[in-house]
Amino acid sequence: MSRLGNIGAKLYRGEVGYDFVKNRMIWYGISVLITVLALAGLGFKGLNMGIEFQGGALFTTPPTSVSVQQAKEDAEEASGHDAIVQKLGNGTLRIQVGGLDTSTASPVTKKLAEDLNVPADKINTELVGPSWGAQIANKAWTGLAVFMVLVVVYLALAFEWRMAVAALIALIHDLTITVGVYALVGFEVTPGTVIGLLTILGYSLYDTVVVFDGLKEGGKDITKQSRYTYSEIANRSLNATLVRSINTTVVALLPVAGLLFIGGGVLGAGMLNDISLSLFVGLAAGAYSSIFIATPLVADLKEREPQMKALKKRILAKRAAEAKSESGDGSDDPQDAVPAAAGVVGQRPGRGRPTQGKRR
């Protein structure tokens, strides 16, 4: 781990680093591509909504030797509707029957119990009316909207509106990707999924906020110096908190992975699985977006400010002069001040010097 510690130190000092901001167009491109794919999946394939959203009944039997085929026939005969039957790891059967009303499902339970030769009170039932899912979804949307407004206001106050906007875009990005993955892979959407999705809200922002916090500190008094442009500062802050971002993501993903393993491996299906699956996808997207999308976006927005423009002009002019005097590798890319080739980024103010010749 000392190697990682060393990398951490180098990242912190800016000796190594990846120029996230400079290469942002690549990441924007990738994100746009994924988002378009996600939306296309959503549009063409749609989401596989679970019975909680359509209404119907879900029966879980105790471990039984009845075959899936047999159970399917029994369930369809008993209910008069199509049934989906899964056999879970421990031998229990999970039988989903759509189109059943809460009141019409009760007799089915009894009949099913007789057919499958298990006592009726040993069968778990979940009966869901058709409007329940809509209600949950409605509330989720309301929650989403309220949360977004609040968080934008909060971030605008705690940081600035540009960061709020960037965080919001990153958030929408994460949610779109997660939903898109669900559409494309065809995972079933249940209330558990919605819970997971809503949690991503908090978590994706949590990650972004930590990065922004470093960014805010790095960007303090930026106009009083003429060494780095805002993009460079942003990139450096990003690299300095990179180890933390990685650690955070790993530590957040590990328990979720535990949930996923148990939910998927032992219970086979259900709440644990649904929550952890959407969390897993969302967290991964969240970690990606806070580094590759949110911060570069802030830098983009910031560079539009007149002050920052002036600063950049000043710095570029100075660097041009230096380059001339040193006959260094003057570059003609005015957009981004730091070359990525060498993987070197700016350093902390007041600390070590920039590596020679890596600057324009």
**Closest distance between another protein and the C-beta of residue 337, in Å?**
15
The Cα angle at residue 190 between residues 260 and 51, in degrees rounded to 5:
130
The CA-atom distances, in angstroms, between 50 and each of 102, 107, 124, 136 are 16, 22, 17, 12
For residues 139 and 334, which CB has a smaller minimum distance to another protein in the complex?
139
Site mask, another protein, residues 224-263, x = CB under 8 A?
A: xxxx------------xx-xx--xx-xxxxxxxxxx-xxx
For 320, half-sphere exposure in the C-beta direction (CA atoms, 13 angstrom radius) is 9
**Closest distance between another protein and the C-beta of residue 224, in Å?**
5
**Closest distance between another protein and the C-beta of residue 263, in Å?**
7
Give the residue, chosen from 46, 202, 334, 343, that forms a contact with another protein under the rule CB under 8 A.
202
Which amino acid is it at 55? Answer: G
Binding to another protein in span 340-359, by CB under 8 A: 349-356, 359
Contact 15, 344 (CB under 8 A): yes
Give the residue, chosen from 150, 310, 317, 341, that forms a contact with another protein under the rule CB under 8 A.
150
Give the residue, chosen from 32, 33, 36, 146, that forms a contact with another protein under the rule CB under 8 A.
146
Beta bridge partners of 48: 188
Binding to another protein in span 22-51, by CB under 8 A: none
Query: Interface with another protein by CB under 8 A: which range of 65-73, 177-185, 211-219, 300-308?
Result: 211-219
Q: Does 99 bind another protein (CB under 8 A)?
A: no
Binding to another protein in span 286-315, by CB under 8 A: none
Give the residue, chosen from 158, 185, 320, 342, that forms a contact with another protein under the rule CB under 8 A.
158
DSSP 160-203: -HHHHHHHHHHHHHHHHHHHHHHHHHTPEE-HHHHHHHHHHHHH
Binding to another protein in span 111-140, by CB under 8 A: 121-129, 131-132, 135-136, 139-140
Closest by CA to 167, choosing from 213, 208, 210, 211, is 208
**Closest distance between another protein and the C-beta of residue 111, in Å?**
14
Contact 301, 166 (CB under 8 A): yes
**Closest distance between another protein and the C-beta of residue 132, in Å?**
4
Which class for 90: exposed (0-12), middle (13-18), buried (19 or more C-beta within 10 A)? Answer: exposed
Closest by CA to 183, choosing from 167, 168, 170, 197, is 197
